[in-house]
């Protein structure tokens, strides 16, 4: 996968770039310094960030755009949209998955596509690391006990099983995030197992983990963390039978997609107190206000915050700017999305 066919110089017209994402998002992603850096390589259509490709200003801009810079809530880039963009050669997504907004026609027409998913993997992995260490120490449960008791807690007597020493962490999915989690766990005295149908035993060993079946991983892990893509084959991958295989007092961490887990089955287990959970994603994404997950003492519940937030958005934009630079100077993307991978990535 290559960028522009020739190295840009003073004889090569500067490409026109168009941004398409949620209103107000471009300023949150691109700091003044990053926007200045982007302007070194492309002419960004001024005063327009597209939320609807059918509008007259969007269609006029599409007619001359060579690069499309997309972000969260970009409208679908369909074959009809591409008909209005005869000069489009590259799409640079300043976020993670592109499958929600890019039609197969983008690849069919030879447009090169890049994603900032690798940049987004780091904060998710960092959140997961914190969740793993907190779960191993029993932080959530002990904090609640101490807060309610307001008196001495005999940790040795009451919580003999807490601690990180030689605890087993099972990683489901050797995705970008799953691999980064394994890397972050290397300094700790933990035992890692991993399950991924596309991973070989030597590759797992290189990550510091032992390759196992899903059933073995669930049965043998104190903490299970999910990093698989949501595909038809992985929907409710963690069902009632899978949850039943997990040992008592084990913790399930989900920072991937809520639908990887049969939520009714999970709630049924959590209500008994047998398992613990750290859930950054649920099904539906925003739970109804009467969901028992809000009140269970063995659940840490956060509103899909593991990915890039706040100043971490600048990391995504920096990745996108670097990909634009590579395209303009004729270099291949560092983080391409190729059509053969679409069936098995998030």
The CA-atom distances, in angstroms, between 193 and each of 80, 138, 145, 179, 209 are 46, 21, 31, 12, 5
Q: Where are the beta strands (DSSP E) in the chain?
A: 16-20, 43-50, 67-70, 90-93, 112-115, 168-172, 191-195, 210-211, 223-226, 251-254, 276-279, 299-301
Cβ proximity of 52 and 58 under 8 Å: yes
State the DSSP string of 58-102. Answer: HHHHHTT-SEEEE-TTPPPB-HHHHHT-TT--EEEESSS--TTTB
227 assigned to active site: no
Which listed residue (210, 304, 314, 344) is catalytic? 304
The CA-atom distances, in angstroms, between 246 and each of 159, 185, 252, 257, 267 are 20, 21, 9, 20, 14
304 assigned to active site: yes
Token pair of 112, please? Answer: 């090169």
Which listed residue (257, 315, 326, 335) is catalytic? 257
Q: What distance in Å separates the CA atoms of residue 9 and residue 27, rounded to the nearest whole number?
A: 29
Which listed residue (143, 183, 205, 285) is catalytic? 285
195 assigned to active site: no
CA 175 to chain centre: 9
Which residues participate in catalysis according to the annotation? 257, 285, 304
């Amino acid at each position: 996968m290559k960028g522009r066919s020739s190295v840009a110089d003073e004889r090569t017209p500067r490409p026109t770039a168009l941004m398409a994402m949620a209103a107000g998002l471009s300023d949150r992603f691109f700091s003044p310094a990053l926007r200045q850096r982007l302007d070194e390589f492309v002419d960004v259509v001024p005063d327009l960030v597209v939320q609807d490709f059918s509008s007259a200003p969007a269609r006029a801009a599409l007619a001359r755009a060579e690069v499309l810079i997309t972000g969260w809530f970009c409208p679908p880039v369909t074959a009809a949209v591409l008909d209005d963009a005869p000069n489009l050669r590259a799409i640079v997504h300043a976020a993670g998955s592109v499958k929600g907004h890019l039609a197969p026609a983008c690849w069919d027409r030879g447009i090169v596509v890049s994603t900032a998913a690798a940049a987004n993997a780091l904060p998710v992995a960092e959140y997961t690391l914190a969740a793993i260490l907190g779960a191993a120490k029993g932080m959530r449960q002990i904090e609640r006990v101490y807060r309610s008791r307001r008196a001495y807690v005999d940790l040795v007597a009451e919580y003999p099983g807490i601690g990180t020493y030689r605890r087993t962490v099972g990683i489901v999915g050797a995705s970008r995030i799953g691999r980064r989690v394994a890397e972050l766990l290397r300094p700790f005295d933990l035992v890692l197992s991993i399950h991924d149908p596309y991973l070989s035993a030597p590759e797992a060993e290189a990550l510091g983990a032992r390759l196992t079946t899903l059933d073995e991983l669930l049965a043998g892990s104190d903490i299970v963390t999910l990093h698989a893509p949501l595909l038809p084959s992985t929907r409710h991958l963690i069902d009632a039978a899978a949850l039943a295989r997990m040992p008592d007092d084990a913790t399930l961490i989900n920072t991937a997609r809520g639908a990887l887990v049969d939520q009714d089955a999970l709630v049924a287990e959590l209500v008994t107190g047998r398992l613990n959970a750290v859930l950054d994603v649920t099904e539906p994404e925003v739970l109804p206000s009467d969901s028992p997950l809000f009140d269970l003492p063995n659940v840490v519940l956060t509103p899909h915050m593991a990915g890039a937030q706040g100043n971490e958005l600048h990391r995504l934009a920096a990745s996108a700017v670097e990909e634009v630079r590579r395209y303009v100077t004729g270099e291949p993307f560092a983080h391409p999305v190729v059509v053969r991978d679409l069936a098995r990535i998030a």
